[in-house]
Amino acid sequence: MFMLRKFIKNRPTSRFGLTNQRDLNVAIIGQSTFAAEVYKLLIKNGHRVVGVFTILDKGNRQDPLAAIASENSTPVFKIKSWRKGEQALPEIVAQYKQVDAELNVLPFCSQFIPMEVIEHPKHKSICYHPSILPKHRGVSAINWTLINGDKEAGFSIFWADDGLDTGPILSQKSCPVLPDDTVDSVYNRFLYPEGIKSMAEAVDMVANGTAPVIPQSTEGVSFEPSVRKKSLQKIDWNKNGKDIHNFIRGLDSSPGAWTIIDNTEVKLYKSAIWSNDTPTGDLITVDTLQNPAVVHDNGLLITCNDGLKLNINRLSVDGKMMAASMYGKADTIQETIEFTAEEKALIPIVETIWKNILNMGIENNTHFFQSGAGSMDVVRLIEEIKDKLKLTIKNDDVFMSPIFSDFCNTLIKRSRGTSDEKKHVEYDPVVIEVNNMKLQFAKQLFINGQFIDSESGNTVECINPADESVICSIQCASEVDVNQAVNAASKAFEGEWTEMSPRDRGAIMYKIADLLDKHREELATIESIDSGAVYTLALKTHIGMSIDVWKYFAGWADKIHGQTVPISHARPNRNLTFTKKEPIGVCGIITPWNYPLMMLSWKMAACLAAGNTVVLKPTEMSPLTALKFAELSVEAGFPSGVINILPGLGTVTGRAIAEHPDIRKVGFTGSTATGHMIMKASSESNLKKVSLELGGKSPLIIFDDCDLEKSVRMSMGGVFFNKGENCIAAGRVFVESSIHDKFVDKVVEEVKKIKIGNPLERDTHHGPQNHKTHLEKLLNYCQKANNEGAELKIGGKRVDRPGYYFEPTVYTGVEDHMFIAQEESFGPIMAISKFSGSNLDAVIKRANSTEYGLSSGIFTKDISKALRFAEKIDAGTVFINTYNKTDVAAPFGGFKKSGFGKDLGEEALNEYLKTKCITVEY
């Protein structure tokens, strides 16, 4: 080789004195879209590609070169490695030699190719390199061209030899570097299109015997290391502004230049020199920079130490790409737009482009980069969109909209000449049409302001109880996910949420109330299909009361205060003692399936008003409104980490919350048995504070001096409200003997009028039970009642139709020892017992005979009876001549095995506060 170089010197001639020849047998060694385009052009120019040697598949995705070659029936060899150590693998070399190539073409190759292969063909090997050799030898040539501030960029096609980018030059081309060029812009504008064309021209020159062989100059030689080394990607803020600008754009879009912001590693992209006045915005500290940076409407403005200003357009935080203008703000998802018929016809074309690039089926939630795409694929996507749709898009359009449905949205907006300014939290949506509306909600965990998949990958199906169909599968949080959420909540509590003024926190809570109101019909529909709630009831109670709760506690946020306490003075000095009400910290909340959004709101609103952050586990049976709430919380402006929503199983997610040492309070609504386990786990972990709203067997006592029509109506509501899935349901109705039969007849008559059916129909009174296991429990409950001698008057069985429908049921003759008199059904089962009106204390004693003490009620016109009952009954709530009358301002909670602690009202705040006493001597 050395003698050959001396002989040819600088003479531009054919390397081996070839005669005119066409139709070369070419082996292409390499990868990427670039290599695939070279392949296509060589075929078009009449050459034969006798073999393609490329890299192994990545998962189920083969390299674009392999894909295009396979389509044309060209032999494809996917090579893991050509060498072992310094020795070529004989079996690989033998495989290569079988194709009998006359020329090797290396358009883009990341593997080390043995010299036995390089030198084997008749015309040897030619290679593409993206710099003007001998400058910037090495694998990161384009990056270093920009980092070094070169005024000129370009590429070389050279004859491969045993050095690293040292072989003789066949051809070179160059272009100017513009002030704000990035790797992508130089590549897209020049290196990609001109490089492909020049590689094909080089093969033609080899075939024609006119290919120059020009030894590389010894002047200007440089070799730089790969920028894949992380230490080489960190920004040195001590350099001048121009060098910093060159460094950032030299690593754009891969691998990205990084620095430290708010103790977090952040990558910076799209740097531009800023010559305008400094805009207003939020100030942040960037690593060792002397001046704070400004987050403003058009990016992140950085003032370098020499005074030069750089504007950063895009950031990557924790691996998630975002507009720099959104740093420190809530992320948002794209606003969905309605496509015209012509626009809809473009979507299959876009889908085909994605399918060809990713080599996989495309769904609305397919993520371009998570499916294996790289920066070269971005180029291909842009080029194919331009070619097939005659539409020019930018790299940013791909990076900021990597999910297929979002990308189509962006594409259509671009075609209309509009952009997507409104942002929302990004997630993989479930989209269904029901109740004459389009529903969209998440199915992932919500941690630190983002929807993410569970670490375990476990899922559970959400079943529509009205027809037993699967709505979707949702992610189930593992112990690792709980820990991640607690860490996010801890960071938020120690930072932005606590630093925010109580009034500002209240303003955000008012905003979430407004958003719940704005999405009222959508939320009620989700609640209906997910929990079986009758739509009209969901509108009024499930969603309506949720809105009221958020407004109520938003008003409390800036009214929480301590007291001054008079104490004895330490004479001759004096003392001042006062108390402070302080938030507890990270709180865990576990909610039930009967009122999914309302129970979330009852607990979380008080928790956040008190200044805490929260990790909430909604029931796995009905989690969908909680996930929709998580989405709306971002739009409301809650900082990342303040609210974390983790669907999952009680035995995994719930247990991890109860046992976590950094959670200081657990609020739970559910069964008494589960409450026992939470108490035990909380005490054994870190003695965390606990409030429990548990089971009930609430007595309702009806005297003969009542308003009978009202009593019947109210008692039916007390039992059948929300299908009986109501914690304060009147679990046992005591009716004075003198009116017992008349009362029962009227109840049975009214029960017959109850319309059972689709909960979305506006005239439905009674929907399906929440889930199959609960329906089976009710059937067993009735069987026990029958076996013990209670008299079934109506109902007691499953409705003969698809769905988990159970007939409203009435039993009489219920005696105190029976199972039906002692245990909660949590369903539409009225258990009626007689009592003698002459002995009030006796019936109160019977009412108090269970271990539950959540709610109670009495109907009588005798105020003395009513107040005596209220005094003696052992229940947290007492209703007189009404029932089920709850209000956001009235404290709610039980005694005995019904739990302790309060939801709603001012008292609920105390569940999420701790009192600190401070004494000053003066």
Q: Is 339 annotated as a binding residue?
A: no
Q: Are the C-beta atoms of residues 261 and 286 closer than 8 Å to each other? A: yes
Q: Are the C-beta atoms of residues 508 and 637 closer than 8 Å to each other? A: yes
What span, in angstroms and rounded, lies between the C-alpha atoms of 385 and 401?
15
What span, in angstroms and rounded, lies between the C-alpha atoms of 802 and 621?
18
How many residues does the structure list for the chain? 922
Residue type, 258: W
Q: Is 532 annotated as a binding residue?
A: no
Nearby residues of 91 by Cβ (< 8 Å), 6 or more positions away = none
How is residue 622 annotated by DSSP? S
In the numeric block, which tokens belong to residue 407? 């990308």
Q: How many helices (H) does the chain have, and how many strands (E)? A: 31, 40
Helices marked H in 585-623 — which ranges? Answer: 596-609
Backbone angles phi, psi at 885, to 5 degrees: -90, 85
3-state secondary structure labels for all residues of 190-203: HHHHHHHHHHHHHH
What span, in angstroms and rounded, lies between the C-alpha atoms of 215 and 2?
11
Is 727 a known active-site residue? yes
Residue type, 910: N
Nearby residues of 114 by Cβ (< 8 Å), 6 or more positions away = 82, 83, 88, 93
Q: Is 772 annotated as a binding residue?
A: no
Q: Is 387 annotated as a binding residue?
A: no
Closest CA to 556 of 608, 632, 512: 608
Q: Is 819 annotated as a binding residue?
A: no
Q: Is 670 annotated as a binding residue?
A: yes
Residue type, 154: G
Closest CA to 873 of 889, 896, 904: 896
Is 123 a known active-site residue? no
Nearby residues of 322 by Cβ (< 8 Å), 6 or more positions away = 314, 315, 316, 331
Residue type, 485: A
| DSSP string for residues in 104-162 | EEESS--SPPPHHHHT-STT-EEEEESS-TTTTBSTTHHHHHHHTT-SEEEEEEEE--S
What span, in angstroms and rounded, lies between the C-alpha atoms of 329 and 758?
42
Residue type, 237: W
How is residue 189 annotated by DSSP? I
- 3-class SS of residue 210: coil
Closest CA to 255 of 226, 222, 284, 225: 226
777 CB-contact burial (10 Å; exposed 0-12 / middle 13-18 / buried 19+)? middle
Helices marked H in 293-441 — which ranges? Answer: 341-344, 347-358, 375-389, 395-400, 404-416
Pick the catalytic residue from 727, 736, 740, 807. 727
Pick the catalytic residue from 693, 725, 736, 911. 693
Nearby residues of 306 by Cβ (< 8 Å), 6 or more positions away = 240, 241
Is 37 a known active-site residue? no
Q: Is 165 annotated as a binding residue?
A: yes
HSE of 191, CA atoms in CB hemisphere, 13 A = 31
Left if phi > 0, otherwise alpha if psi is -120 to 50, otherwise beta: which for 20?
beta
Pick the catalytic residue from 129, 136, 245, 660. 129
In the numeric block, which tokens belong to residue 854? 């959540």
In the numeric block, which tokens belong to residue 685? 């972990």
Residue type, 831: A
Nearby residues of 732 by Cβ (< 8 Å), 6 or more positions away = 697, 698, 699, 700, 814, 821, 831, 833, 847
Q: Is 826 annotated as a binding residue?
A: yes
Q: C-alpha distances in angstroms, 647 versus 426, 462, 593, 631?
A: 18, 11, 12, 14
List binding-site positions for NADP(+): 670-671, 777, 824-826
Indicate which residues carry an active-site annotation.
129, 693, 727
List binding-site positions for (6R)-10-formyltetrahydrofolate: 111-113, 165
List binding-site positions: 111-113, 165, 670-671, 777, 824-826
